[in-house]
Structure 1
Amino acid sequence: MEEKKQLRISMKSNLEKLSFPLYEDLSYRIAGQLFKDEDWLEAKSIGITISRAPEVDTLQIIRKAWELGKQVAIPKCNPRTRELVFRTFTRFSELEMVYSGLYEPIVSMTKEVTSDDLDLLIVPGLAFTRKGFRLGFGGGYYDRYLGENKAQTISLAFTQQLVAKLPVESHDLPVSKIITEEEVIVCEC
């Protein structure tokens, strides 16, 4: 656990050094790679988070999904059970700020989307290996959700988020692909 904690601190610190213009440029390039990916093109419904810096910007991705007529669902976290529930998302006015400055769907304005109803899940993280393992933000929400998910999984990452190895535990599940500004990595899952 201590190794993961130190890696989180180090990666956050490195990412926070990205200038705003570079952050936007890299995020735009990653989105461009995603928009050409077969899993994106085929997906009718997408699960994705509302990003906040220094995560890869997802707002442009959400807008593009809407333009293409894709259903977008965003997660609502339950801090007591540490579980995620995805909910429909059709307008930015359906968001509210919750703990830690995160934006989540307003329950009264959105509907639950089951994991079976998602074709593609964009999985956030701080660090990634080429085998698809990821270091999350420490809550374990996605680790639990990935166990019940059947959708294709993609993580978006800046190249500097790729690491040679991560401490992997038995409950850690890899994503299928990682898309950076330079490449699409099909993971050896």
Structure 2
Amino acid sequence: MVQLDKKDWRLKQKERLKSYQGTHRRQEEAVLRQQLLQMVSWKTAQRVALTLSLPFELDTQPLINAAWQAGKQVVVPQIKHQTMVFVEITPQTSYQAGPMGILEPCDATIVQSETIDLVVTPGLAFTKTGKRLGFGAGYYDRFLVNYAGPTVALALSCQIVLDLPQDKYDQRIMTILFDDHC
């Protein structure tokens, strides 16, 4: 399957994620979220970077809520002048659609990347060894090249693959969480 180029991989993975619905998916998402909440890097983090998930992605709202309940600051990506920055959100934050159709806070404060304790990284596909297929804009790869803290991704069973095409600028994720029982 590695013979596909990244564009074909992305199309295929988006369709796989969109078609993976129902009780089994919700249960798998709950298992992955619980795995994250048990990680030392989550428990010790004061500021966590998460995403505002798209409908076909793993739902991150329960993680955002768990972080707030634990007294953590939550930051989400925002695109400013073709660069991804992270901004703090609170339960009172209002949102609008950003340049890529992803919700972004209307008015938020940019935080410095070195103050982020854990980055929960999105993607379309992952290998168990940390390779990641992103959405194609390269924002996370450009961010991660200078980020020294821990990174983790939550991968549904349909997102785990044996191998992925990689370019020299692709950044690996330190920990890939997946449900061994799927």
Alpha-carbon RMSD across the aligned residues, in angstroms, is 1.8
Q: CA deviation at 1:92?
A: 5.5
- Matching residue of 2:156: 158
Q: Distance in 2 between matches of 1:92 and 1:146?
A: 28
Task: Give the match for residue 148 of structure 1.
Answer: 146
Count of aligned pairs: 179
Q: 1:26 aligns with which of 22, 25, 28?
A: 28
Deviation string, structure 1 residues 123-149 (Cα, Å, up to 9, x no partner) = 100011122110001111001000111
Query: What is the TM-score of this pair, normalised by structure 1?
Result: 0.88
Segments of structure 1 that go 5 or more residues without pairing to the other structure are 184-189
Deviation (angstroms), 1:156: 0.9
Task: Quote the Cα distance in structure 1 between the aligned partners of 2:141 and 2:153.
Answer: 13
Match of 2:111 in 1: 113
* Deviation for aligned residue 1:100: 4.2
1:73 matched to 2:75: yes
Q: Which structure shows the bigger proportion of residues in helix conformation?
A: 1
Aligned to 1:87: 87
State the identity %. Answer: 33
User: CA offsets, 1:71-117, max 9 Å, x none?
Assistant: 10011013x52x211001112533222234310122x3x21111110
1:167-186 map, 5 Å: 167-182=165-180
Q: What secondary structure, in the 3-state scheme, does the structure 1 residue paired with 2:68 have?
A: helix
Q: Which secondary structure state, in structure 2, belongs to the residue aligned with residue 99 of structure 1? A: coil
Give TM-score, length-normalised by structure 2: 0.91
The separation in 1 between residues aligned to 2:24 and 2:104, in whole angstroms, is 26
Letter in 2 for 1:123: T
What residue is the counterpart of 2:102 in the other structure?
Answer: 102
1:25 deviation in Å?
A: 2.0
